[in-house]
Structure 1
């Protein structure tokens, strides 16, 4: 192999192989998570009332499934057409954006609920969110359009990669970290304001979930900024969709956990006295 192909060709082929292994591992991880939570998930889907947030849950939960199908097809099916690679990558990027936007929307709603439906807080969150994600969409698709896709010249190694133009992809993850920093700051400020006066278990779970979600999001955002700037070939984007899938799993699992806690408290007839409007999060309208 080394006598027939250049070192650059071999390095690019290895990067494509490694990324294929990563996506296969992600698909396995996603299926394992689904199997582990399928009973609680279907209990929620069958027993909870239909709301916008329930629809958001379904989108958040099942978009990674479509994302993984497209990317595994892109990686595993032999393809020498760079235009088809571009098309499949655009479809995959669209699913990635839908996934991360729906995941973040869960925590925008939860932060809004923590602030007692404060319109000023909502306006700040939505403005920051829309500005950052509009810029992210423009950067993501412009970079993909300007950098052509290559395929491995080594027989038996399938998949597409971009050899150049990927360094700018750190920008969407930097902007995503700005959104998450804004949300975690609002959550911590609210926690400091109400911690001593609040003894409600739902409130405590809400705060812990939010902070844990943001820490994971910031960790992956930093990781993706580093890989986008420092690595070449397919390596530069190997953890991008992993972040979106992990965030989707966290968002939906945390929502399920919160819903089941609420059901348990209602079954015990617990008196809830904290004022946190949760009509879009709980199975039916309630005032904490």
Structure 2
């Protein structure tokens, strides 16, 4: 039952992601064609399109007949790597946003980057260390022909615990800055930036807590579903919020453009005639 549920949910996630992309296709291409090429735009493209590779690899792993456990392990490692890459790219948007709220303080940025590298290194080590000794098997269930991981490790909850702590720290920084400057900065861009940050961190915290509990309490075929679902939701939120901020910046002509945080690092500048 868990394997069938796993397959059905992945089809649902793929459908949801495709539907979201189709609904935002006009805004997507407008942003890609109009905005300047910057590092942030490159980050946007990676964040937006890595989930397509992640979903395609997972669908291949779940539905393509495969009798080689070694190949199953390689595909699972690829999925783990793509998932971590997607999560890191999504978080990078909000690391930049949080630093923008603090006027791009270099000490704060350096501290955050050190923490990110430590957390990412730990997560990669745990992800690949737990999949290496895991047993893989080929499903004998009709309609579920792919291979699956028949054993798992409780250590898989640790990356989500680290992500939970990291997002709680970024949320605290955002709230502190918002309280300090709520009377000084009243521009619309600033308010939207703070609201985006809080909403994103709240969603990330809720999904991370859910993944911690499911990793400890449920069978792998169940709790692994929430792993990639969290990566999908975070990528959608990060890219949609970035496009929204970019559109708002293009519409500003005066007061908001003079706000006290350097927004040039957050959204690509628009073309000028």
TM-score tier by shorter-chain length is over 0.9
Q: Answer whether contact 2:40 2:267 (CA < 8 A) is retained.
A: no
Whether 2:33 is the aligned partner of 1:49: answer no
Q: Answer whether contact 1:26 1:242 (CA < 8 A) is retained.
A: yes
- Report 1:4-23 matches (<5 A): 14-23=1-10
Query: RMSD between aligned alpha carbons?
Result: 1.4
Structure 2 equivalent of residue 141 of structure 1: 128
Work out the number of aligned pairs and report it. 270
Partner-residue secondary structure (3-state), 1:284: coil
Partner-residue secondary structure (3-state), 2:50: helix
Q: Answer whether contact 1:184 1:214 (CA < 8 A) is retained.
A: yes
Shift of 1:133: 1.2
Shift of 1:82: 1.1
Any unmatched runs of 5+ in structure 1?
A: 1-13
Shift of 1:40: 0.9
Structure 2 equivalent of residue 279 of structure 1: 264
Counterpart pick for 2:213 among 223, 226, 236: 226
Shift of 1:176: 0.8
Whether 2:231 is the aligned partner of 1:244: answer yes
Which whole-Å CA distance do the structure 2 matches of 1:50 and 1:280 have between them? 12
Counterpart pick for 2:149 among 148, 162, 180: 162
Partner-residue secondary structure (3-state), 2:258: coil
Q: Answer whether contact 1:16 1:159 (CA < 8 A) is retained.
A: no
Structure 2 equivalent of residue 172 of structure 1: 159
Which whole-Å CA distance do the structure 1 matches of 2:167 and 2:226 have between them? 18
Which whole-Å CA distance do the structure 2 matches of 1:19 and 1:142 have between them? 23
Partner-residue secondary structure (3-state), 1:250: helix
Shift of 1:78: 1.6
Q: After superposition, what is the alpha-carbon deviation per residue over 1:103-142, rounded to whole angstroms, capped at 9, x for unaligned?
A: 0111111111110010121122112111111101100000
Structure of greater Rg: 1
Structure 2 equivalent of residue 77 of structure 1: 64
Partner-residue secondary structure (3-state), 1:272: helix
Q: After superposition, what is the alpha-carbon deviation per residue over 1:181-235, rounded to whole angstroms, capped at 9, x for unaligned?
A: 1111111111011111211111000000001001111111111111111111411
Partner-residue secondary structure (3-state), 2:157: helix
Q: Answer whether contact 2:135 2:149 (CA < 8 A) is retained.
A: yes
Shift of 1:284: 2.3
Whether 2:240 is the aligned partner of 1:253: answer yes
Q: Answer whether contact 1:51 1:280 (CA < 8 A) is retained.
A: no
Q: After superposition, what is the alpha-carbon deviation per residue over 1:133-156, rounded to whole angstroms, capped at 9, x for unaligned?
A: 110110000001021212223344
The structure with higher relative contact order (CA 8 Å, sep 6+) is: 2
Partner-residue secondary structure (3-state), 1:161: strand
- Report 1:123-142 matches (<5 A): 123-142=110-129
Shift of 1:58: 0.2
Structure 2 equivalent of residue 186 of structure 1: 173
Which whole-Å CA distance do the structure 1 matches of 2:255 and 2:185 have between them? 15
